[in-house]
Chain A
Amino acid sequence: MYEQFKTRAEGVSAEVYRFGTKAGALDFIVGFLEREGIADEPQAHALWTECPFLDGIDRQTLAGVAGLKFEITRDLAADARFGISQMQWALADTGTLVQDSTAIDQRLVSSLPAIHIALVPTSGILPDMPALLTRLHPAQSGYIAMITGPSRTADIERVLTIGVHGPERLVIVFVDDLGGAN
């Protein structure tokens, strides 16, 4: 299902990576942020929301990454270049990520910054929408968010253009041993 997901997600311009361990994923993310020019200033910093991935990670070790913040506010999110969050599920047949987004922070970091980095446990891949609807119900979540690729429009002469109001890049990072998240 991972391969199907990857094909579908890349088909809608998402970038898909997979790592066996959290350490591998973390290395990748830090490297990615640095390559993309993270800095402690508006339009360059990154916000990382609370999520199971961060459990057990000593944030001190990340202190060296200037501009990486774990505090989320609307203003910081509006100025952020990167938003990092964890999505719970992935739907293989459409390349969709799904999350209980009841907490506003989850939405701020995935909708305002230019680049959204989404962590997903590989075990969270489901075949399709009906499979999801039996697992995630509005009774548990006031805001169920599904994301399929970056923000897009075709409203001017039907020319597909990426990045309107939401992120212009969606970087999906699967982690095999994220464990316990779902």
Chain B
Amino acid sequence: MGTEFKESIHKAVNDANLTGALGKFSEAYKVNRAKAYEGIDFEELRGRIAELKSYAASHLDLLSDLFEQNATARGAKVFRTSDPVKVREYILTVAQENGVKTVVKSKSMATEEIHLNPYLEKAGISVGETDLGEWIIQLAGQTPSHMVMPAIHMTKEEVSDLFSKEVNERLTSDIPRLVKVARDRLRPMFLKADMGISGGNIACAETGSIVLMTNEGNARLVTSLPRIHVALVGIEKLVEKYADIAPILKALPRSATAQLLTSYVSIITGPTPNDDGSMKDLHIILMDNRRSEMAADPKFKQALQCIRCASCLNVCPVYRLVGGHVFGKVYTGGIGTILTAWFDELKKSEDIQGLCIQCGACKDVCPGRIDIPELIMEIRRRLVQEQGVPMLQRAIYSVVNNRKLFHGMLRAASIAGKPFTSGKFVRHLPMFLADLTDGRSLPAIAAEPFRDRFKGIKQPECTEKAAFYAGCLIDFAYPEQGEAVVSVLNKAGIRVIFPEEQTCCGAPARYNGAYETAAGNAINNIRALLAEDVRYVVSACPTCTVALEHEFINTFESLGQTEWIPKARELAAKTVDFSTLAKRLVDEGRLTLKEGQQLGRVTYHDSCHLKRTLKVSEQPRELLRKAGYELAEMFECDMCCGMGGSYSLKLPEISGPILQRKLKNIKETGAPVVAMDCPGCVMQIRGGLDQDGAAVQVRHTAELLAEQLKE
């Protein structure tokens, strides 16, 4: 990450206006979005959208042909090109041939993508953005910081300064008044303009129509008043059938702004009469700019299912801290990272892709059902492929991939770490975890790792066997969590084995794009965990569980190492996370807890991988209730804690504030205990609370459960 970029992060997170505005917005958004989707089966709806958009992405040529045919038959002029330069030239030519002096625009990301405004202005044509947000940033000489709300980063005071200059009058920051000023100022421009330029939210091939959605009503004026209308549409906006627009019209406003429908929707098909009786000169430009290439890429094709609602930004814990000027280029946030890598170039996404913490919040809400985090991982992998792994990281991975050496170093660290240890925490971990952050203490490396303690555990005779996969954190920092797992399983009649050869799950390497290292880890673990015939492979770390259950397979697939895939699948089928298994055992009557316990309040933090990849959120809660706890839900219980593996080491300036929010939400419940299922989250949150001084205990669900086993 370049220093300039680091500085921009630093500036953004310290901009109270920005983080305040974005923070408030994202909190309100979540509630409003849920309300807008009341009574709607979101999974079914986004399934339909994903399907129809995916079909369109597989048939871009066909649909472009069809669109051209049908729009042309209705009298529109259709221009198709893959080259952004040709788009600009085409628009300028149309303008010059028709003596156009003034252009009004309604919001179009595609025109931003090709930097159209400066190009036209250079040719002496005046270009006015008419979407209020776009106009504000045009006056400010900035770029949009959000795909739907371009000026979300600006305060009303800043807007009033801009407008005051524009109208030569000192304005107050009264928002309705500022809006009125914009209306009055832009109205004559609409009436005077010779050309209107719009984007297109949907392009319907079957009818040759473009669909425009706005709230302000500017697109209606842009497409009605000037005698020429140019619509610039990326070919990913194509859908096949007229009926296909219904699900998009249903999801887009709900996801974008939590509205049931935007104030205005226009479906434009061919030229319509102007007010002087002439016919509109309608040009529709279908722009490719690498979209076809994207469609041909088996991984990235799904990115074309995007309907540009920006909900992936609205729910992103990183976006709401840094905004779109840091997190994105023309297109912002998670999807912006992906689109930048393609429409711009892979290299341009290098810094911004590193901002993704892989919490998966966006994937949950995306109406196009795009696996945004997965695609960002793929960018990471390709960047690493292109540029190699940085020296330091490579050194670390070579250690991680050599289990004996790695574990030897962790053991050494437990001794070397001692002088820095204060109670249960060290301020500075030795080795590669050295570069540490404020606001969080790190755990001391356990004096005796789980793998050693395990040998001393006396287990009852049982018929069923489970292999325990500890993962680095439980093995070397929180062995007591591993002991809790063993005692719970024993109680249910399951004998636990601990395959000694197990090693790091490879997640750290994978999340940094070092797939080769991750594959090495995967092979070692598959060998170790499948060596003995067991019923389950249990893990109490969701990140590890996800690795065992999903990522080993995916890593092999990405690298084309197909020979290991059957074994990886075999392992995946046996893998289960602790709470899911424990809940099952309780339901089957095999695991009994003390009865009638009244243990007081506990609040539960959902770990990203558990909730969103493994889809487990009720099981731990029910277990806690069964044990005798009363659940006090915290605000944003499933929001990332900011750990993200090595993310918290690489980007402490982002991880820190995310953690602080989490701590605040925990403390506000007043519960004396916060439970969670992930040792990574335990490390982050316990460390945070330690520095904070709050008297809240941080416990793994397994530990709380183990305390309540019936004698």
Give Cα A153 to B191, complex, Å.
21
Task: Determine if B218 and A165 form an interchain contact, defined as CB atoms under 8 angstroms apart.
Answer: yes
Query: Given the interface contacts A103-B273, A104-B275, A155-B149, does A164 sit within 8 Å of B207 by beta carbon?
Result: no
Query: Given the interface contacts A74-B191, A143-B266, does A153 sit within 8 Å of B246 by beta carbon?
Result: no
Per-residue 0/1 for A78-120: is the Cβ within 8 Å of any B Cβ (1 yes, 0 no)? 1000000000000001111000011111011001100000000
Task: Determine if B207 and A137 form an interchain contact, defined as CB atoms under 8 angstroms apart.
Answer: yes
**Docked complex: A107-141 residues within 8 A CB-CB of B:** 107-108, 111-112, 129-130, 133, 137-139, 141
Per-residue 0/1 for B190-221: is the Cβ within 8 Å of any A Cβ (1 yes, 0 no)? 11000000000000100111000001111011
Which residue of A78, A161, A165 contacts B186 across the interface (Cβ within 8 Å)? A165
Task: Determine if B132 and A153 form an interchain contact, defined as CB atoms under 8 angstroms apart.
Answer: yes
Shortest CB distance B617–A (Å): 29
Task: Determine if B207 and A155 form an interchain contact, defined as CB atoms under 8 angstroms apart.
Answer: no
Which residue of B175, B218, B269 contacts A142 across the interface (Cβ within 8 Å)? B269
The residues of B that contact A152 with a CB separation of less than 8 Å are 215-216, 263
Task: Determine if A151 and B217 form an interchain contact, defined as CB atoms under 8 angstroms apart.
Answer: yes
> Does A150 sit at the interface, judged by CB under 8 A?
yes
Task: Determine if B136 and A96 form an interchain contact, defined as CB atoms under 8 angstroms apart.
Answer: no
Task: Determine if A151 and B243 form an interchain contact, defined as CB atoms under 8 angstroms apart.
Answer: no
Task: Determine if B175 and A164 form an interchain contact, defined as CB atoms under 8 angstroms apart.
Answer: no
Give Cα A108 to B94, complex, Å.
25
Give Cα A73 to B225, complex, Å.
11
> Does A156 sit at the interface, judged by CB under 8 A?
yes
> Does B260 sit at the interface, judged by CB under 8 A?
yes
Shortest CB distance A6–B (Å): 14
The stretch of B176-184, B319-327, B499-507 in contact with A is B176-184
Task: Determine if A143 and B217 form an interchain contact, defined as CB atoms under 8 angstroms apart.
Answer: no
Per-residue 0/1 for B222-246: is the Cβ within 8 Å of any A Cβ (1 yes, 0 no)? 0111000000000000000011011
Give Cα A166 to B225, complex, Å.
13
Query: Given the interface contacts A93-B260, A166-B220, does A104 sit within 8 Å of B272 by beta carbon?
Result: yes
The residues of A that contact B261 with a CB separation of less than 8 Å are 94-96, 146, 148
> Does B25 sit at the interface, judged by CB under 8 A?
yes
**Docked complex: B309-331 residues within 8 A CB-CB of A:** none
> Does A147 sit at the interface, judged by CB under 8 A?
yes
Query: Given the interface contacts A111-B217, A155-B150, A165-B217, does A150 sit within 8 Å of B263 by beta carbon?
Result: yes
**Which of A96, A137, A138, A163 counts the most chain B CB atoms within 10 A?**
A138
Task: Determine if A157 and B179 form an interchain contact, defined as CB atoms under 8 angstroms apart.
Answer: no
Task: Determine if B25 and A153 form an interchain contact, defined as CB atoms under 8 angstroms apart.
Answer: no
Residue of A nearest to B180 (CB): A163
The residues of A that contact B204 with a CB separation of less than 8 Å are 138
Task: Determine if A130 and B263 form an interchain contact, defined as CB atoms under 8 angstroms apart.
Answer: no
Give Cα A74 to B180, complex, Å.
21
The residues of A that contact B216 with a CB separation of less than 8 Å are 151-153, 164-166
Query: Given the interface contacts A145-B264, A158-B149, does A74 sit within 8 Å of B217 by beta carbon?
Result: no
Task: Determine if A12 and B263 form an interchain contact, defined as CB atoms under 8 angstroms apart.
Answer: yes
Task: Determine if B183 and A163 form an interchain contact, defined as CB atoms under 8 angstroms apart.
Answer: yes
Shortest CB distance A152–B (Å): 5
Which residue of B151, B242, B264, B267 contacts A166 across the interface (Cβ within 8 Å)? B264
> Does A63 sit at the interface, judged by CB under 8 A?
no
**Which of A139, A164, A166 counts the most chain B CB atoms within 10 A?**
A164
Shortest CB distance A125–B (Å): 15
The residues of B that contact A12 with a CB separation of less than 8 Å are 259-260, 263
> Does A144 sit at the interface, judged by CB under 8 A?
yes
Per-residue 0/1 for A9-37: is the Cβ within 8 Å of any B Cβ (1 yes, 0 no)? 00010000000000000000000000000
> Does A8 sit at the interface, judged by CB under 8 A?
yes
Shortest CB distance B81–A (Å): 25
Shortest CB distance B439–A (Å): 29
Shortest CB distance A102–B (Å): 5
Give Cα A8 to B272, complex, Å.
31
The residues of B that contact A159 with a CB separation of less than 8 Å are 156, 175
> Does A67 sit at the interface, judged by CB under 8 A?
no
Which residue of B182, B183, B246, B259 contacts A133 across the interface (Cβ within 8 Å)? B246
Give Cα A38 to B90, complex, Å.
46
The residues of B that contact A101 with a CB separation of less than 8 Å are 266
Shortest CB distance A122–B (Å): 21
Per-residue 0/1 for B248-277: is the Cβ within 8 Å of any A Cβ (1 yes, 0 no)? 011000000101111111111111111100
> Does B159 sit at the interface, judged by CB under 8 A?
yes
Residue of B nearest to A77 (CB): B275
Task: Determine if B156 and A157 form an interchain contact, defined as CB atoms under 8 angstroms apart.
Answer: yes
Task: Determine if A111 and B269 form an interchain contact, defined as CB atoms under 8 angstroms apart.
Answer: no
The residues of B that contact A146 with a CB separation of less than 8 Å are 261, 264-267
The residues of B that contact A167 with a CB separation of less than 8 Å are 217
Task: Determine if B159 and A156 form an interchain contact, defined as CB atoms under 8 angstroms apart.
Answer: yes
Residue of A nearest to B134 (CB): A155
Task: Determine if B217 and A161 form an interchain contact, defined as CB atoms under 8 angstroms apart.
Answer: no
Which residue of B25, B209, B220 contacts A138 across the interface (Cβ within 8 Å)? B209
Shortest CB distance B399–A (Å): 48
Which residue of A96, A102, A111 contacts B221 across the interface (Cβ within 8 Å)? A111
The residues of A that contact B209 with a CB separation of less than 8 Å are 138
Shortest CB distance A112–B (Å): 8
Task: Determine if A129 and B249 form an interchain contact, defined as CB atoms under 8 angstroms apart.
Answer: yes
> Does B130 sit at the interface, judged by CB under 8 A?
yes
Task: Determine if A161 and B149 form an interchain contact, defined as CB atoms under 8 angstroms apart.
Answer: no
Shortest CB distance A33–B (Å): 22
Task: Determine if A148 and B264 form an interchain contact, defined as CB atoms under 8 angstroms apart.
Answer: yes
> Does B74 sit at the interface, judged by CB under 8 A?
yes
Task: Determine if B272 and A142 form an interchain contact, defined as CB atoms under 8 angstroms apart.
Answer: yes
Task: Determine if B186 and A145 form an interchain contact, defined as CB atoms under 8 angstroms apart.
Answer: no
The residues of B that contact A153 with a CB separation of less than 8 Å are 132-133, 179, 215-216
The residues of B that contact A145 with a CB separation of less than 8 Å are 220, 264-266
Shortest CB distance B73–A (Å): 11
Give Cα A139 to B209, complex, Å.
10
Task: Determine if B271 and A161 form an interchain contact, defined as CB atoms under 8 angstroms apart.
Answer: no
The residues of B that contact A155 with a CB separation of less than 8 Å are 131-133, 136, 149-151
Residue of A nearest to B157 (CB): A157
**Which of A94, A144, A149, A166 counts the most chain B CB atoms within 10 A?**
A166
The residues of A that contact B591 with a CB separation of less than 8 Å are none
Which residue of A96, A161, A166 contacts B179 across the interface (Cβ within 8 Å)? A161
**Which of B130, B207, B215 counts the most chain A CB atoms within 10 A?**
B215
Query: Given the interface contacts A102-B272, A142-B272, A144-B266, does A133 sit within 8 Å of B25 by beta carbon?
Result: no
Given A74-B191, A158-B149, list of 16 further CB < 8 A pairs?
A: A12-B260, A12-B263, A74-B275, A103-B272, A104-B275, A138-B269, A142-B269, A143-B266, A143-B269, A145-B265, A146-B265, A152-B263, A153-B132, A153-B133, A165-B130, A165-B190
Report 24 cross-chain contacts, Cβ distance below 8 Å, ordered by A residue: A12-B263, A111-B221, A111-B224, A129-B250, A130-B243, A130-B246, A138-B209, A142-B271, A143-B269, A152-B215, A153-B215, A155-B132, A155-B149, A157-B155, A158-B24, A158-B28, A163-B183, A164-B182, A164-B217, A164-B218, A165-B217, A165-B221, A166-B216, A166-B217
Interface residues of B (CB under 8 A from A): 21, 24-25, 28, 74, 130-133, 136, 149-152, 154-156, 159, 175-176, 178-180, 182-183, 186-187, 190-191, 204, 207-209, 215-218, 220-221, 223-225, 242-243, 245-246, 249-250, 257, 259-275
The 3 closest A-B pairs by CB, nearest first: A166-B217, A155-B133, A138-B269
